[in-house]
Amino acid sequence: MKLITPLWSDPVGWAEQVAKTKLRVFIWTFIHICFVSGGLFGIGWLVQKLPSDSNLGWSAVLMGACPIVFIGVAYPAMYLYAMHRLLKMLKEVAPEK
C-alpha cells in the first residue's frame, strides 16, 4: 500500500493527500520544522566541537540559519498552503459528483 502516490500519476490526488485540510498542512509544516531544527542543532553541536581558537560559534550558526529556515520551512509551508487554497477553489468551481 502506497501512502502517497507519485506526483506524475495523479497530481490532484497527490495534492489532496498532502494538503486537503489545514491540519495536514500544519502537520507537514511541523515535520519540516523538526527536520530543519534538528539539522541546525547538529550544525551548532559540530561548531562547538571546533578548537577553541576558532572564532565560530552560535552567531555563525544563526547567521546561516536564516536561508536554511526559509528554504527548509517557509517556502514549503507557503507551497503547501497555496496547494490547499487551490484545492479549495477547485472544489468550489467543480463540485464532486
Check residue 2 and give its pLDDT.
60
Query: What average pLDDT does the segment 44-56 reach?
Result: 74
**Rounded percentage of the chain residues whose pLDDT exceeds 90:** 23
**Averaged pLDDT for residues 14-26:** 84
> What residues does each domain of the chain span?
30-87
Specify the length of the chain in residues. 97
Instruction: Looking at 4-69, list the stretches that DSSP marks H as alpha helix, in order from N- to C-terminal side.
Output: 11-19, 22-48, 58-69
